[in-house]
Amino acid sequence: MSHVPTADATEVLEPVGHVQVIYLGPVAPHWECRMVFGDEEQIQAFVDRIDARLRYLPPHDPQFRRNRERVNRDAEREGLIVEWLLGYEEETPA
């Protein structure tokens, strides 16, 4: 039996929260997370997971990119917006 996606499966839902992830500079801890809106308990649990993944990783570390993608997927599953404020313009893939 195959699974056929329905219109409901592709429906875009309104975000339930928004978190800013701010790069603080080269001295650890490197990151600060700020809640813009959302359920405080849900956001705090999410921020705790971000902190565990990023605390000692500067943005130029190769592990940062992998962990950043994990954070983005986690946010997508929870219906959260993650805004990355790295202090520099990022290159966009061509």
- Total structural domains in the chain? 1
Range of 67's domain? 38-88
61 within a domain of the structure (yes/no): yes
Total Cβ atoms within 10 A of residue 43: 21
28: in domain? no
DSSP 7-74: GGGGPPPPPSEEEEEEE--SSSS-EEEEEEEE-HHHHHHHHHHHHHHHTT--TTSHHHHHHHHHHHHH
Give the pLDDT of the chain (94 residues) as one tens digit per residue.
555 555 555 566 799 999 999 999 988 789 999 999 999 999 999 999 999 999 889 999 999 999 999 999 999 999 999 999 998 777 765 5
Whether 45 maps to a domain, the answer reads yes
